[in-house]
Amino acid sequence: MNPGVIYAALAYASWGLLPVFFKQLSHVNALEVVAHRMVWALLFLLCVLLVLRRWAWLREATRQPRVLLAFGVSALLLSINWSVYVWAIQNAHVIDASLGYFILPLVNVFLGFIFLKERPRRGQWLAVALAAAGVLWLTLQGGRLPWIALLLAATFGIYGLLRKLAQLGALEGLTLETLLLSPFAVGTLAWWAWHGQGALVQADALTMGWLLLAGPLTAIPLLLFAAGARRIPMATLGILQYISPSLQMLVGVWLYAEVFEPARAIGFYLIWIALLVYSVDSWWSGRKPSSQRE
């Protein structure tokens, strides 16, 4: 087996099992969890860069206002995505969070059409239409937009678009993003600690251990993903990405007994059919000679 498949599968499996980790921190404010995640992820990434001796990019990047602005925006989107995701897990919305990452590939198709002038194939447009019908059904059935799923898909989709256009790699890019976010994270944690609040002054050793673990659990899957993405085709990577939301949904239904009504399932079925159409279309297009692709 191509080692890239193993790396990518491990990355997506890690992301899929993250709800189990964040459930251990349900008693900690979601924003505080995110702040700890930023700080400990940055320290872990700096240690990795120290071992690899990859520092030259940092001086050049910090001297370019355009690069700093682009990564400032991507860092903001990442912080919103993390905050919504952690809040959703802590408040019994694991299934809603999984829905966001099920529709993410189709959001990417739409963003590519709008911002990159890409031409989606007919099969991709069909997949987007089916997914939109699924979201509409969930909205009508639930009486409100599935805002958690849509916000997660939109923030991470736009984040991915910015990173696609960025000049830095996965490791360097995440390091710069967490570096830009760290003053706010450290300031927030210090403010809570100064007022005798927050995990730094109130939590037991076990809770602090979970919070410290957020650093490597943020960075390691990303490094595995980067290693896998370099070794396998995008079509294979696109199919493997469904491991993550599938595991999240199974965790929500089987481990945490979240309600999944039959009426609500119809919306998910439409989205799953859309993903099947999208995957088959991508696989079929990849088999064609480049001159025959639409």
**Which tokens go with 178?**
């967490």
Question: How many separate helices (H) and strands (E) can be counted in the chain?
Answer: 14, 0
Q: What is the pLDDT of residues 108-162, one digit of tens each?
A: 888 888 887 878 788 888 888 888 898 889 888 877 889 999 999 999 889 888 8
> How large a percentage of the chain has pLDDT more than 70?
95
Q: What is the pLDDT of residues 80-118, one digit of tens each?
A: 999 999 999 999 999 999 999 888 888 888 888 888 787
Q: Which whole number is the average pLDDT over 282-287?
A: 70
Mean pLDDT of the chain: 87
**Which tokens go with 20?**
């189990």
Contacts of 193 (CB under 8 A, 6+ apart): 200, 201
Cα atoms found within 13 Å of the Cα of residue 261, Cβ hemisphere only: 5
Residue 294 DSSP code = -
Distance of CA 263 to the CA centre of its chain: 27
> CA–CA separation, 100 vs 85, rounded Å?
10
pLDDT at 291: 47
Distance in angstroms between the alpha carbons of the first and the last residue of the chain: 31
Backbone angles phi, psi at 203, to 5 degrees: -75, 155
In this prediction, residue 288 has a pLDDT band, given cuts at 50, 70 and 90, of low
Q: What is the pLDDT of residues 56-72, one digit of tens each?
A: 888 888 888 888 999 99
Q: What is the pLDDT of residues 237-254, one digit of tens each?
A: 767 888 898 899 999 999
| This model's pTM is above 0.85 | yes
